[in-house]
Structure 1
Amino acid sequence: MIKKSILKTLALGFLSIFSGVSNAQNTADYQVVPIPMEITQNQESPFELSRETKIVTGDDSQIMRRNAGFLQQYIKQQTGIETIIATKGEGSRIVLQTGLKSDSPEAYEINVSSDVITVTGASEAGVFYGIQTLRKSIPVKKTATITFPSVKIKDAPRFSYRGMMLDVARHMFSVEEIKTFIDMLSLHNINKFHWHLTEDQGWRIEIKKYPRLTEIGSMRKETVIGRNSGRYDGETYGGYYTQEEIKEIVKYASDQHITIIPEIDMPGHMLAALSAYPELGCTGGPYEVWTQWGVSEDVLCVGKDQTLKFVEDVLNEVMDLFPSEMIHIGGDECPKSRWKECPSCQAKIKELGLEADDHHSAEERLQSHFISQVEKIINDRGRKLIGWDEILEGGLAPNATVMSWRGMSGGIEAAKQGHDVVMTPNSHVYFDHYQSTDVSRDPLAIGGYSPVERVYSLEPVPSVLSKKQRKHILGAQANLWTEYIPVFEHAQFMVLPRMAALSEVQWMEPENKNYEDFLQRLLKLIEIYKINDYNYARHIFDLNAEFVPNAKDNTIDVYLSSLTNGDIFYTLNGTAPVKHSPKYKGVIKVNKDADVMAKTYFNEESSRVFSESISFNLATTKPIKSLQPVDKQYGYDGISTLVDGLKGNNNYRTGRWIAFRGNDLKAVIELGSEPVTIREAALTTNVVKGDWIFDVRQFEVLVSDDGKNFRTVASRDFDPLQRSDSDGIKNHVLRFDPVEARYVKIIGESEKSMPEWHGGAGLPGYLFVDEIVIK
């Protein structure tokens, strides 16, 4: 329960940071990220924090003294006030203690009265999260005193697993940078650090029994430039963490109540290991650490007994270093082509009596057998196996936990089978995706589109699960893969402030979430980013624009808004707006081709310039009806997207494109109350074969006078795509003899069965379409 009345009052002081209102009082604001479950006002005088305030540990354990040290550090950093740590005390004091009764060990309560703030946790971790709430409520301002309004706060996390993954195999970061990343996790109440340590492109953890893993496997001779351009930088890249460094990092995380879950990816993504020990592969090599991105065909040979021995030795050293109950073994993206040709793997399939059926190949069943053997190694040490959702293929290992990344379906299936699940769908929480549709002004990313709002919208518990099955959803996690992230400042830019949105998904009950409210609370958190020198993305300060086709007025209605509520100025001719440009006053009605540009000013700063082009044709703004359903995952604003005057770029996730899969684009556009002469129709598609997105197979244009009886005026069939055909935006134009029509039907047939050369052979592909142009 959130007591809105008091929260609204307490928030006013911090909103002044960006609104320009004078902040006369140094008052704590409990509207933090994530916001506590319940905040109730007490009828007492406020508490005043000063240099006379003591931080008192209710029990004198090392953990509680460390908790007190964190609070002392936060207060000094944000305010300059130096407090005192003591085991007992009177007068102005903050008391840290355990003893709270709760089902969650991370629950806490905060009681603020005139002379004491008491933080009571169900465990030392609960106390730590209470400290985080206090920390985030304190103004970032050098001052002699801070006033805390008298309240009672009750809080506990929704999920026990609140994770963030960092890939250090493609690009790695220093020990100090990893520690900074851990600091960022604790600020956001994240308690699991999933550390991706090995890949085709580099092995980053010292294994004493296999020294060549780091001597050879940690170094690649060069790195591809851009997205597998075929050009390379010619510079050796690599490095690894020694076991002593790993112990240091594990302790650093543990001190902040964060568990590090190591990942040793297998049986695929093992080319770095094969380069060091080629006898573990199916072909025997030679292999080299991969210098490009993607998925290598060369994987561990699971038909050899020595491979399992290698895995056992590596995992035992890993488990000696990491006390985590969960050990991640990857299990994703493992091509089976080598296994199909490998005598050892085929002999193992025969020995085990593995057979293909309608659902799984013999090789998939071989992978399942291997994963089950690995699980036994992990279980024998009292640990639990966790892996990506591909470990479902061929049958799931008995006690495995599934990390569902290819959407939610893998997690749903695992939960129905009674397995625990962590939801990390690439549709919402892959932080290597772009944060803006304006990709030309952002650093190079892998693709995709996952802005703060989409992260915030994630609901990790699917409604299709039963009450019993929902209990298997342990929590949620976001992932940062680093193919295109060579330096730590870039990594920070990619995760902040999306990590703040993630924290509310992980911590709060869904009925308490509110995105607009979150954005206002985020402003204060950003002040903490600043004093810690965290490099955060500033897209939330960009203008938001909504383009609405208005068939009645034959206009595209443009609505602009900003988080800061400053004045917005715009132009329609492609020139940069200034303070003397027209001021936005509620809606901009556009009825012809225009280049919309807009900018807002706030607190002596300004946003980036927003830019969007609108192109009109006979179909623009006209009523359109879809005769077949749009794909639910990629439906966005629906069929009206095809007549909104806006063109999509190469990124198919921006909302400018809509998709069909297993069915076709069939849409009818009403051109007007009187017949219109037309001679040309065009359809734009976006092809990304690696993401199962194919081109149209047939494009047909039909016309009608009554909207019921249609006749074809143009049609074209397209050959199946070949592996060598280029990806990208395709513009298909059909020209025909002039004809009068009131209604135009557009048919675009999708790829119903992807070709044999494709990894999804036989399955339907996606058809992504954008603007329909009629002339």
Structure 2
Amino acid sequence: MKTMKLILAFFLLAGIAVSAQAEINIIPRPVSVVPGNGSFTLTEKTAIVSGEATRPEASYLAGILAKAFGEKPHIKAKGKGIELKLNATLKDSLGDEGYLLTVESKRIVIEAATRAGVFYGIQSLRQLLPPAFEFHPGKGKSAAVPVVAIADKPRFAWRGFMLDVSRHFKGVDVVKSMLDQMALMKMNVFHWHLTDDQGWRIEIKKYPKLTSVGSYRKDTQAARHSDKREGKPHSGFYTQEQIKDIIAYATARHINIVPEIEMPGHASAAIAAYPWLSTLGTTTEVPVTFGKLPDSFNIADPRVIQFLEDVLTEVFNLFPGKVVHIGGDEVMYDAWKKSKAMQALMKKEGLTSPADLQIWFTNRISQFVDSTGHRMMGWNEILGDNVHEWLDPADTQVKQTLAKSAIIEFWKGSLDLINKAVSNGYDVVNAYHRMTYLDYNYKTIPLSKAYSFNPIPEGLDPKYDSKILGFGCQMWSEWIPTTKSMDLKVFPRLAAYAEVGWTPLADKNYQRFLGALHNMEQRWQLEGIDYHKGEE
């Protein structure tokens, strides 16, 4: 490998003996790790050497080291210490997110083509330190950083984690904590599921009832297929100022936030706030039960289309990223089949089925999204395929073709549908539920199964590999009401998914991963993060 030869040559030129014995426990496993002999002693006097271009990363690293020493180290423009460097020539070999990390006895150098690469080099440096190093600050502390040379870059550009805050609101601090864990393990897409039947969680100034009404439900279903209720209301939403704060926090960690605004189904909370949005006209309050609910946006009404465009406009103005997720899953077509307005629209547009109508609607939204310089993403139902056993096959006979600019998030159906999507020109994020749903228990998706996930399906023609942007792992929260219950489902499987997205397939090794996981588990203990122990 070119990068391997480059780093090994640099390492040997530095006059450092190569050791095959040292074990480097970094998650996700780097592409190339060349251990050496000896160590660098990190103390409170160690400076961070950085130019203006990498000053944000230098400040971030200074904040991390302050947790150990009680004060921030000095940042200077020249000299030795922990040196952060940009080198545009590395882009050819390491891409936009790769980095070189070289630890010598007298200095540490992190070099990359971009600031993102430098940031990921910092995350690897953090994991070379003892797990307890960042905790319990004190004067006079020191840590030995093993001599090593690392050349690294990700396998996939899209390494995503989704958090559903609609069913159970999680607040600001929980989101920031998850962003910190994502950053440590080099995950770069936070998919934020902000709206659903059971709660609308994002402030939209033009439509204040979305949060004054739509963020509140009077009770919550306590168990699947049960009439039992929790016996207390549930509410909460993010103000636009809070969202801006979270976006800034994510941006500093090189994480892009993809907001999800569900349409045309999973819309009951919005309909409770503004009943004129409804197809059925029967939704009067935010539902307290989970599952697939019958109502949806009345997409035959021009006022509803305008409402959705207004909402998306405020979303675009808030979020700097270019991708917006519109959901599109689990639309209950019975309401559309009974609606005179929907049937008249289908006849007017020459549409053959409810799925055809959904594609027509989704394309209209896609045209609006594209016109603003953004890109639409949705669950794979937006293609019109029949992926549910409860659907009438006649309802998914389609003639419409989804806009090619759409990103498909595959979560359900035959894996052949991925082949069909990429061969038809679509970009795909693989979030196959049987492999990536974090709300599933460990018997269904044990840690080893999560680790074994390959976002590129077996049998996919290699010429389409580049159409698989990466993967997503999903934390749905219907039955996950507390932070503790969420953490127990997310950790340690999030670490497995991090390696799925970053480490070359041929370099993955589950037993080695388990060895590295011990250090991560110590970190979680010190941070007060609950994690699941054992396979099941």
TM-score (norm 2): 0.89
* In structure 1, C-alpha distance between the alignment counterparts of 2:314 and 2:19, rounded to whole Å: 50
* In structure 2, C-alpha distance between the alignment counterparts of 1:83 and 1:154, rounded to whole Å: 28
Letter aligned with residue 461 of structure 2: S
Residue 392 of structure 1 contacts residue 410 of structure 1 at CA under 8 Å; is this kept in 2? no
Letter aligned with residue 369 of structure 2: I
Indicate the larger mover: 321-330 or 33-42: 33-42
* In structure 1, C-alpha distance between the alignment counterparts of 2:69 and 2:75, rounded to whole Å: 19
Distance 1:138 1:410, change over 3 A: same
* In structure 2, C-alpha distance between the alignment counterparts of 1:121 and 1:525, rounded to whole Å: 25
Q: Compute the RMSD of aligned alpha carbons.
A: 2.0
Q: Which residue of 2 aligns with 1:500?
A: 495
* In structure 2, C-alpha distance between the alignment counterparts of 1:494 and 1:149, rounded to whole Å: 33
Q: What is the aligned residue count? A: 498
Residue 418 of structure 2: SS of its match in structure 1? helix
Letter aligned with residue 49 of structure 1: L
1:102 aligns with 2:97: no
Alignment of 1:453-472 (within 5 A): 453-472=448-467
* In structure 1, C-alpha distance between the alignment counterparts of 2:459 and 2:296, rounded to whole Å: 36
1:434 aligns with 2:425: no
Equivalent of residue 73 in structure 2, options 80, 84, 88: 84
Letter aligned with residue 414 of structure 1: A
1:34 aligns with 2:23: no
* In structure 2, C-alpha distance between the alignment counterparts of 1:120 and 1:195, rounded to whole Å: 31
1:403 aligns with 2:409: yes
Higher helix fraction (1 or 2): 2
- Alpha-carbon shift at residue 7 of structure 1 (Å): 8.2
Residue 150 of structure 2: SS of its match in structure 1? strand
Residue 166 of structure 1: SS of its match in structure 2? strand
* In structure 1, C-alpha distance between the alignment counterparts of 2:520 and 2:145, rounded to whole Å: 18
Alignment of 1:728-767 (within 5 A): none
Q: Which residue of 1 aligns with 2:338?
A: 341
Alignment of 1:600-611 (within 5 A): none
Q: Which residue of 1 aligns with 2:423?
A: 416
Q: Deviations over 1:348-401 (max 9, x none)?
A: 10110112xxxxxx1110000000000011111101100001011043233101
Distance 1:533 1:151, change over 3 A: same
Residue 52 of structure 1 contacts residue 83 of structure 1 at CA under 8 Å; is this kept in 2? no
TM-score (norm 1): 0.62
Equivalent of residue 212 in structure 2, options 200, 207, 215: 215
Residue 325 of structure 2 contacts residue 378 of structure 2 at CA under 8 Å; is this kept in 1? yes
Residue 340 of structure 1: SS of its match in structure 2? helix
Residue 159 of structure 1 contacts residue 506 of structure 1 at CA under 8 Å; is this kept in 2? yes
Q: Deviations over 1:653-710 (max 9, x none)?
A: xxxxxxxxxxxxxxxxxxxxxxxxxxxxxxxxxxxxxxxxxxxxxxxxxxxxxxxxxx
* In structure 1, C-alpha distance between the alignment counterparts of 2:18 and 2:510, rounded to whole Å: 19
Q: Which residue of 1 aligns with 2:284?
A: 287
Distance 1:219 1:147, change over 3 A: same
* In structure 1, C-alpha distance between the alignment counterparts of 2:19 and 2:158, rounded to whole Å: 28
1:193 aligns with 2:190: yes
Q: Which residue of 2 aligns with 1:717?
A: none
- Alpha-carbon shift at residue 282 of structure 1 (Å): 1.8
- Alpha-carbon shift at residue 226 of structure 1 (Å): 1.0
Q: Deviations over 1:707-737 (max 9, x none)?
A: xxxxxxxxxxxxxxxxxxxxxxxxxxxxxxx
Q: Which residue of 1 aligns with 2:387?
A: none
Equivalent of residue 521 in structure 2, options 521, 526, 542: 526
Letter aligned with residue 114 of structure 2: S
**Bigger Rg, structure 1 or 2:** 1
- Alpha-carbon shift at residue 76 of structure 1 (Å): 4.4
State the identity %: 37
Letter aligned with residue 180 of structure 1: S
Residue 434 of structure 1: SS of its match in structure 2? coil
* In structure 1, C-alpha distance between the alignment counterparts of 2:491 and 2:365, rounded to whole Å: 35
* In structure 1, C-alpha distance between the alignment counterparts of 2:58 and 2:527, rounded to whole Å: 20
* In structure 1, C-alpha distance between the alignment counterparts of 2:191 and 2:20, rounded to whole Å: 36
Q: Which residue of 2 aligns with 1:172?
A: 169
Q: Which residue of 2 aligns with 1:301?
A: 298
- Alpha-carbon shift at residue 320 of structure 1 (Å): 0.7
Letter aligned with residue 406 of structure 2: A
* In structure 2, C-alpha distance between the alignment counterparts of 1:41 and 1:80, rounded to whole Å: 27
Unaligned residue ranges in structure 1 (runs of 5+): 12-29, 356-361, 438-448, 543-775
Residue 153 of structure 1: SS of its match in structure 2? strand
Residue 411 of structure 1 contacts residue 422 of structure 1 at CA under 8 Å; is this kept in 2? no
Q: Which residue of 1 aligns with 2:371?
A: 380
- Alpha-carbon shift at residue 82 of structure 1 (Å): 5.2
- Alpha-carbon shift at residue 45 of structure 1 (Å): 5.5
1:47 aligns with 2:47: no
- Alpha-carbon shift at residue 265 of structure 1 (Å): 0.7
Q: Which residue of 2 aligns with 1:766?
A: none
Letter aligned with residue 36 of structure 1: P
Q: Which residue of 1 aligns with 2:394?
A: none
- Alpha-carbon shift at residue 41 of structure 1 (Å): 4.1
* In structure 2, C-alpha distance between the alignment counterparts of 1:141 and 1:345, rounded to whole Å: 60
Equivalent of residue 227 in structure 1, options 197, 213, 224: 224
* In structure 1, C-alpha distance between the alignment counterparts of 2:19 and 2:464, rounded to whole Å: 35
- Alpha-carbon shift at residue 8 of structure 1 (Å): 6.4
* In structure 1, C-alpha distance between the alignment counterparts of 2:419 and 2:284, rounded to whole Å: 38
Residue 9 of structure 1: SS of its match in structure 2? coil
Letter aligned with residue 317 of structure 1: E
Residue 189 of structure 2 contacts residue 255 of structure 2 at CA under 8 Å; is this kept in 1? yes
* In structure 2, C-alpha distance between the alignment counterparts of 1:145 and 1:282, rounded to whole Å: 65
- Alpha-carbon shift at residue 73 of structure 1 (Å): 3.3
Higher strand fraction (1 or 2): 1
1:60 aligns with 2:52: yes
Q: Deviations over 1:736-759 (max 9, x none)?
A: xxxxxxxxxxxxxxxxxxxxxxxx
Q: Which residue of 2 aligns with 1:254?
A: 251
